[in-house]
Amino acid sequence: MRRTLIVAALLAAALLGSSCSREDPPTAQPSYPPLTAAEGEAIAAALVSQDVQDVLTVVSTDVRAVYQDSEDLLLPPGTTLAIDLATFVAEGGAGSVRGTLSGSKAGAWELLLVREDDTWRIYGTRPA
C-alpha cells in the first residue's frame, strides 16, 4: 500500500510538472530616465532659437542629417515654448511630451522624442 502511494505521488508530480510552463521569462525592456527639467529647457530654448546650430543640438540624428543643410528657422522670432514635464511618457527608447507655443504660431504640440546618447532628442512634432 505504501509503495502504491509513493508511485501515485511520483506520477502526480510528474504530470503536474509537465503541465507547468517552462518558458524563459520575457526579456525586460531597458528603462529610460524621464525627461529632466534641464533637458526640457534645453529643447525648448533650442527649438525657438534663431540659430540653426542651436536647433541641431537637440534633434535626433536622423532629423539632424536632413535639417543641418537648411537655413530655414523652425519657428518665427519671438516664439516661446513651454514644455509640460508632467505629460512626459516613454516606452522603450521613444517618448513624448506636450508643449505650448506662444507667439504667431501659438498652440499646443506634442514633441516626439527618442533616446540617443543618454539624452532625449526630438524627432518630430504633431498637434496635441
The answer to whether residue 60 sits within a structural domain is: yes
The answer to whether residue 101 sits within a structural domain is: yes
Q: Which range, of 37-41, 59-63, 65-69, 92-96, averages the lowest pLDDT? A: 65-69
| pLDDT for 49 beyond 70 | yes
Residue 26 pLDDT: 57
Range of the domain at 74: 33-127
The answer to whether residue 76 sits within a structural domain is: yes
Residue 104 pLDDT: 86
Q: What backbone torsions phi and psi does residue 27 show, to the nearest 5 degrees?
A: -75, 125
Q: Rg for the chain (alpha carbons), in Å?
A: 26
Residue 35 pLDDT: 96
The answer to whether residue 75 sits within a structural domain is: yes
Q: Given the C-alpha cell 504640440, which residue does it identify?
A: 109
- Exposure string (b/e) for 65-92, b if CB count within 10 Å is 16 or more? eeeeeeeeebbeeebebebeeeebebee
Q: Which residue has the higher pLDDT, 75 or 30?
A: 75
Asked if 87 and 60 count as a contact pair (C-beta separation under 8 A), the reply is no
In total, how many domains does the chain have? 1
Q: Three-state DSSP class for 53?
A: helix
The answer to whether residue 18 sits within a structural domain is: no
| pLDDT for 15 beyond 50 | no
Residue 85 pLDDT: 97
Residue type at 40?
A: G
Grid coordinates belonging to 12: 502526480
Residue 19 pLDDT: 43
Grid coordinates belonging to 82: 513651454
